[in-house]
């Protein structure tokens, strides 16, 4: 078992090892997805969130052991990189890889658990959410900060930004599910727009987001940003729903 721990949390090595060894039988289940599982563990005065990644297929077992970084390791490294750039994400603590002669087996990513108020998904699903306009405006500014720092967050979906109210009219944003990310020297207009196009199918939100983004990204007009973003959003939504329909057809017997 290979374990890498953030320098500030080396004193928790014994506890972290214990949590990983007992992951299936201990901890509080927080998220149970089709591929991954997240559990919470108490460690002194902190609550740790530990994500267990699905064991990769036989080809990826070899790839992740010898040629590519595991999802757990990427999550840990990308989280540290985001914090260096001043971009919010839960404090990374450690990653663990369990390998055999056949390749990578189970892997885990541990970070501090954040007690937040909502995710971006709530804004999409609840148009009259309290302080909606303020949160959306500040979220767009957060996205602009990502883009200005060359961060291409490939899983920029509604559930992957946590939002916490830190003062009256002031919100902090934290990225999660970090293993698919590029760090670029500069992000083109096309990449910026594509990065925003997976967040909401609502045209009214796209219009409001375009307005807010145009205040910060002045090289393109609000109209151009809206037209481009709405076109990308429609294409993404069409492809997304086609994929869902295809999965249902392929799994009709279930």
How does pLDDT run across 208-242, given as a tens digit for each residue? 999 999 999 999 999 999 999 999 999 999 887 67
* Burial grade of 39 (CB within 10 A; 0-12, 13-18, 19 or more): buried
118 closest CA partner among 133, 105, 129: 129
DSSP class of 39: E
Q: What is the pLDDT of residue 195?
A: 96
User: What is each CA distance from 25 to 66, 93, 232, in whole angstroms?
Assistant: 30, 21, 44
Average pLDDT for 124-129 = 94
Q: pLDDT tens digits, residue range 150-204?
A: 999 999 999 999 999 999 999 999 999 999 999 999 999 999 999 999 999 999 9
Q: ∠ at Cα 233 (82, 170), nearest 5°?
A: 45
**DSSP assigned state of 45:** T
Measured at the CA of 123, the angle between CA 85 and CA 235, to 5 degrees, comes to 80
Q: Give Cα separations from 111 to 41, 44, 92, 104 (angstroms).
A: 10, 14, 4, 21
Is 191 within 8 Å of 151 (Cβ atoms)?
no
């Amino acid at each position: 078992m290979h374990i890498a721990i953030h320098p500030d949390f080396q004193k928790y090595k014994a506890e972290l090892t214990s949590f990983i060894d007992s992951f299936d039988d201990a901890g509080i289940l927080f998220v149970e997805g089709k591929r991954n599982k997240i559990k919470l563990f108490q460690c002194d005065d902190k609550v740790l969130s530990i994500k267990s990644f699905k064991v990769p297929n036989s080809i990826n077992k070899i790839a992740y052991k010898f040629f590519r970084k595991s999802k757990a390791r990427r999550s840990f490294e990308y989280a540290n990189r985001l914090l260096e750039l001043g971009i919010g994400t839960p404090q990374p603590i450690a990653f663990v890889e369990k390998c055999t002669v056949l390749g990578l087996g189970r892997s885990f990513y541990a970070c501090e658990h954040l007690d937040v108020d909502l995710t971006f998904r709530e804004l999409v699903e609840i148009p009259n959410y309290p302080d909606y306009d303020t949160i959306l405006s500040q979220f767009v500014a957060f996205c602009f900060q990502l883009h200005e720092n060359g961060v291409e967050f490939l899983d920029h979906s509604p559930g992957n930004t946590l939002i916490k109210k830190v003062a009256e009219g002031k919100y902090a944003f934290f990225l999660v599910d970090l293993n698919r990310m590029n760090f670029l020297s500069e992000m083109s207009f096309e990449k910026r727009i594509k990065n925003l196009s997976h967040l909401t199918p609502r045209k009214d939100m796209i219009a409001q987001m375009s307005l807010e983004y145009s205040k910060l990204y002045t090289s393109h007009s609000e109209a151009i940003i809206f037209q481009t973003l709405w076109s990308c959003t429609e294409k993404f939504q069409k492809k997304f729903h086609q994929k869902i329909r295809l999965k249902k057809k392929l799994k009709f017997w279930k």
